[in-house]
Amino acid sequence: MSSETTPVAHFIRNIIEDDLKSGKHQSIVTRFPPEPNGYLHVGHAKSICLNFGMAADHQGKCNLRFDDTNPEKESEEYAQSIQDDVRWMGFQWDGAVRWASDYFDALYDYAVDLIKQGKAYVCDLTPDEMRAYRGTLTEAGRNSPFRERPVEENLDLFTRMKNGEFPDGAKVLRAKIDMAAPNINLRDPVIYRIKRAHHIRTGDKWCIYPMYDYTHCISDALEGITHSLCTLEFEDHRPLYDWCLDQLPVPCHPRQIEFSRLELQYTITSKRKLLQLVTENRVSGWNDPRMPTISGMRRRGYTPEGLREFAKRIGISKSDNTVDMSVLESSIRDDLETRVPRVMAVIKPLKVTITNFVEGETASREAGFHPNHPEFGSRLVPFSKEIWIEADDFAETPPPGWQRLTVGGEVRLRYSYVIKCDEAVKDGAGNVVELKCSIDPNTLGKNPEGRKVKGVIHWLSCAAALPAEIRLYDRLFTMPKPDGDKERDFQDFLNPHSLETVQGWIEACVKDIAPETRYQFERLGYFCSDRVEHQPGAKLVFNRTVTLKDSWAKEHG
């Protein structure tokens, strides 16, 4: 059984399995309820894996429902991107996409029901007045002067609110619960407000919109949700969730269960702040490969399998879930190690001339795409008189333990000959611009006689290699908690070196690959052909997904 198919125990799984065993539920129905006001990020990936995963593990169903109760910030672009992300993550929702707006008529009727029961009233307090009346964590609130309006008056005013007789913000509908409740969420919360805003689905039909807390619990009940899984900030909202459902003739009463949200170091997961990065052009868009959005991670080359493994490794609990970026990167690295072919690329090219190259005699070799996967096939690695190597693989004055190239030293070229550096050619400024090297012609596919050559470096034939734009991505921020400093703006901690674009070279066998094709560039890291700009046979663009080893802590510690 693979690690991905082995269930991980956690408290939510235990609750669900107990409910099935006891007969409380015959089957499980969960939901993933994003607001279409931005692109999904890595925190949503955790929630997707939990909600869809729990349903799948127990032969249940998971709905995709958009919380579209805030029309000014929502768009079809966001809604479409969310659907694309869920599918790419490897999940499929039950039936059609659902929307909170599907229930606007029912939600209105339920509000009328609350008014008739004397459990909701129209309030004319301004937002500032309402805050003053609400009280504090240590002081009880005060009743609104409009709290005891007669039922008939409330029904009339609520109808007129719906019909557009009052300006935006003039009145709200509030639930009548308890202004002295220790939980401030129960101090007569607003459940409807007047808002003239064009809605992406209902157009201008409504000028009043229900609030999230009121909408969400009823939508869950109407869909027959059994377990409503949400992050820990909604724990204090659960009494309101339950109160609404207890007052109304809804078909069922789902159970809300909270878990800790994901906080990933060296990034942010606030949609408001991510939108700020986009609108202020600090990144190239929501799908910038440095962004923690699912579309950004996909473009960078992350795999859905790697993200699902990451969600599994970090687990589900109620305790703080601040995770180091290395956990995410190692999940991706471990997944790519087994599934992607390997090729050679050079990102900082230094030209090498082979002085004893003999046309027709100096041979090329076949090389497999993966040492553990012969089924991946192989390709010819052509050798020529002029080759590219990495500039970092040569040192005039080598440090102790150096096993790469230096004048008078030898290395093996991967899949090819042992070469010896005889001369370093410099320009007028003293920079090494070319190496003159000779091959040992008896070392193709075998070790030299009488001596050991420890170093192996990658290389490319200048005549056969293809030019490629290679984007070296690093962490977007220099601080583990970029929005944790109350005195400074989070953008102060943007990493100026989060993207370095270089013109490199790559093996010709990648010429016609499709966008979003992943490779290990030997000795350099994992890379993915850019899904937006890579053009097979023309402009080749590769994004660095992750390095071969986690070197961040060592380099920045």
Write out the catalytic residue numbers: 35, 261, 271
In our burial notation (b when 16+ CB lie closer than 10 A, e otherwise), range 118-142 reads ebbbbbebeeeebeebbbeeeeebe
Gap between the Cα atoms of 460 and 483, Å rounded: 44
Contact by Cβ (8 Å): 530, 505: no
Helix, strand, or coil (residue 339): helix
Tell me if 253 sits within 8 A of 245, measured CB to CB: yes
Strands 418-426 and 466-473, by their bridges, are unpaired
154 burial class (0-12, 13-18, 19+ CB within 10 angstroms)?
Answer: buried
Three-state DSSP string of 77-135: HHHHHHHHHHHHCCCCCCCCCEEHHHHHHHHHHHHHHHHHCCCEEEECCCHHHHHHHHC
Handedness of CA 223, 228, 233, 238 (dihedral sign): positive
Q: Which two tokens stand for residue 264?
A: 């990933």
Widest distance between CA atoms in the chain: 103
- Paired residues of 345 in beta bridges: 506
User: Contact at 8 Å (CB) between 504 and 346?
Assistant: yes
Residues in a beta bridge with 192: 173, 210
DSSP string, 21-70: HHTS-SS-EEEE---SSS--BHHHHHHHHHHHHHHHHTT-EEEEEE----
β-strand partners of 390: 349
Q: Which of the 8 DSSP states describes residue 547?
A: -
How far, rounded to the nearest angstrom, does the alpha carbon of residue 97 sit from its chain's CA centroid? 21
Q: Judging by DSSP bridges, how do beta strands 525-529 and 365-368 pair with one another?
A: unpaired
Could you tell me where the beta strands, DSSP code E, fall in 246-316? 255-259, 262-264
Cα dihedral sign, 153-159-165-171? positive
Q: Is 74 helix (H, G, I), strand (E, B) or coil?
A: coil
